[in-house]
Amino acid sequence: MRDRRPPQKTRERPKLTADAAGKRVTLPRALSKLGYCSRTQAERLIAESRVSIDGRTVNDPSAWVDLVTARISVDGRPIAAETKIYLMLNKPRGLVTTRHDPEGRPTVYDCLKDFDIPHLSPVGRLDKASEGLLLFTNDTEFAQILLDPVTHVTKIYHVQIDRLLDDAEIAAMTSGIRHDGELLTAAATRRLRQGDRNSWIEVELEEGRNRQIRRMLEALGTECLRLVRVAIGGLELGELPKGAARALTAAELQALRRSAGMERARR
């Protein structure tokens, strides 16, 4: 008897839309974005033939994957995106911003022992002598956008110095000061308060060059006694105790995303 059922159509793999194409990244970057490990660690796993895409082992770190549709596994175990975590720490002076210090010095991670979260990384750095607001997250895309100079996310510092700055020196910090052949500029500078022997100023930066404020003050012949970061974008340090950490509220995270232009980009 003749089969009258219509022939089955061969299922074709859907073509990537413009939005899906935007989710295509290299395999090491995919593992990093999913919060599994750093890109350097991912390259090592790939070289050891421990990573597969859709059941096929991949040894090429330049291979591209679709974060939306690809099934990525390490050692045969599927990798799922971790819950995104966003923390703020009031960094004490004397801690280095790294997970492991070869010299055995205390690190900022000593303040995060109550947060058992793998792959949590600082967003930028504060040097050992600096203190104040430091962000941590496992959301690598979020961290990269905040650190990108193009987004102009402002960072505000309260700085204690060993003397008073005159009007010309305050103006020079915003117009630009050259140090070691590099032009360093603050977005804004103003006096906060002064004592008999020292004073406090507020410095706002839109870029994060190495030891930028300290170098600018050094060029002015001024010693930096304390440097405290008090705000990043719309997020303020507030009354968070020294050495304490907490999760950002939904409102704080939204304000931070808005300051980096991320909310506008998602509309």
Active site residues: 127
Q: What number of helices (H) and strands (E) belong to the chain? A: 8, 17
Give every CB contact of residue 208 below 8 A, 6+ residues apart in sequence.
Answer: 124, 147, 149, 155
C-alpha to C-alpha distances, 44 to 30, 71, 72, 78, nearest whole angstrom: 14, 19, 16, 18
Alpha helices in the chain (DSSP H): 18-21, 27-33, 39-47, 140-147, 167-175, 212-219, 250-259, 262-266
Q: What is the DSSP string of 37-53?
A: S-HHHHHHHHHTT-EEE
- 143 Cβ contact list (under 8 Å, min separation 6): 121, 123, 135, 137
Contact 76, 243 (CB under 8 A): no
